[in-house]
Amino acid sequence: MQEQQELKRGLKSRHLTMISLGGAIGTGLFLASGGAIHTAGPGGALLAYAIIGVMVYFLMTSLAELAAYMPEAGSFSTYASRFVDPSFGFALGWNYWYNWAITIAAELSAGALIMKFWFPNSSSILWSALFLLIMFGLNYLSVKGFGESEFWFSLIKVVTVIIFLVIGIMMIFGIFNNEAPGFKNFTLDDGPIHGGFFTVLGIFMAAGFSFQGTELLGVAAGESEDPEKTVPRAVKQVFWRILLFYILAIFVIGMLIPYTADSLASDDVRVSPFTLIFERAGLAFAASAINAVILTAVLSAGNSGMYASTRMLWNLAKDGKAPRFLAKVNKRGVPVNALIATALVGTLAFGASFFGDGAVYTWLLNASGMSGFIAWLGIAISHYRFRRAFVAQGHDLSELPYHAKLFPFGPIFAFILCAVVILGQNYSAFMGDSIDWYGVLVSYIGLPLFLIVWLGYKWTKKSKLIPLKECQVTVKKYE
């Protein structure tokens, strides 16, 4: 009996919301937010996260317009192939697959380090193998199994943030420690914005990395029930919750902990701003509790990475842009061969961290660091071209189940800001007496790799920019 070649629509609205929400709430909030405040002051961190948050909102609405009308597991890779150039879609697809496959390896390493908090003499490889099996198993079961696990992983993180915000706000008003700090920590030294424009620019990158994962919504739309309704609903809920969580959390931390405190710059869970504030509130188990939540965030990121990269690889294979055997789907609607290939690449990358001094692994991670921003650029370009092609071919906007707000400002603003972040990735390497070429190479290696894949496919396949009148904007209705 021949096996089907299509995915199953097993994701409900609550799954979609939590997948996208969980993608953005992770170590960026629990650990890196402290570093952002330490670097740019509470005002600088708030400004950077707010600006990046607005950009992410426009990207999400662009993606929602595309995904509600044309739900595809290949998401922005498919959209770029149809509305820009097949070579651009090819490069975006492989770029995104690589980004998440390497992220799996990073999360396996992080998971093992977190377990050392409780079991200092245990084997890192043992924990990483266990976490890999969990991630693989949850994705192997069915898309509903993945959606359900991600729902609960994300719920743990969301509840933690809400408890933190409630306790933090009570402490600001002096309820826990009988001392209301007022704005004295905000205006410390040269606060609230410490270091001027360039430090805020540096935080743009940190904020961007923190928000990455929101675009998982576009990939998951290809397996969601009734995407015309569930995708716009998820976008509306996700954006405001993420912005509220990040902005309020940074405000609370900035009010209660002096931004000059060295502890904010540390990645140690024992001095995570969340741990410090819970401890000040008299919760002695804070470090263990936050460590457990960070472990959940790591497993969630790895789980989502396994899902996103598998679906992208399956879609590339289905479109003839990856080996055909990777397009095979089992009776539960899971692309098993793509899942196995992705897990193997993640494992090999993780194994590279044990050889030499981990230099190979560091380079792999650096190459993937820019991939999320490149994917966002692709979304902005694809949406801009789609809307123009849609109108050029005589279609009415009333045919779209969801309209992105403020077109064309949204995708243009997102494109410009993403380009600024990509090009300013390591601006300090150019600021000294001489250029730090090693720093430039480490920071920007993802960009030439993307260009090589894009232009290489373009040259071999002789693909061209698709005229607006020829873009494939009509869709076959899903079942």
Which string of DSSP letters, residue by residue, matches 43-100?
A: HHHHHHHHHHHHHHHHHHHHHHHHHHHS--TTHHHHHHHHHT-HHHHHHHHHHHHHHH
pLDDT digits (tens, 9 = 90+) for 105-151: 888 888 888 888 888 888 888 888 899 999 999 999 888 888 888 88
Query: What is the C-alpha to C-alpha distance for residues 454 and 234, in angstroms, rounded to an integer?
Result: 32
**Integer CA distances (angstroms), 277 to 26, 177, 208, 253, 323, in order:** 18, 11, 25, 8, 51
Query: Is pLDDT above 90 for 465?
Result: yes
Tell me the CA end-to-end span of the chain in Å, nearest whole number: 22
Lowest mean pLDDT among 99-103, 223-227, 339-343: 223-227
Type of residue at 436: D
pLDDT digits (tens, 9 = 90+) for 8-53: 777 777 887 777 777 678 777 887 888 889 888 999 999 999 998 8
pLDDT digits (tens, 9 = 90+) for 250-279: 999 999 888 888 888 777 767 788 888 888
Query: Is pLDDT above 60 for 462?
Result: yes
If you average pLDDT over each of 155-164, 381-390, 440-449, which comes out highest?
Answer: 381-390
Query: What is the C-alpha to C-alpha distance for residues 440 and 167, in angstroms, rounded to an integer?
Result: 42
- pLDDT above 90 covers a percentage of the chain that reads 28
**Is 406 in a helix, a strand, or coil?**
coil
If you write DSSP's letter for every residue of 9-21 in order, what string do you get?
--B-HHHHHHHHH
User: What average pLDDT score do residues 469-477 get?
Assistant: 80
pLDDT in the model for residue 479: 43
pTM of the model: 0.88
User: What average pLDDT score do residues 456-479 get?
Assistant: 84
Position 283 confidence tier, pLDDT thresholds 50, 70, 90: confident
Query: Quick one: which of 346, 340, 343, 339 has its CA closest to 364?
Result: 346
Ordered structural domains, the chain, with CATH: 13-461 (1.20.1740.10)
Mean pLDDT of the chain: 85
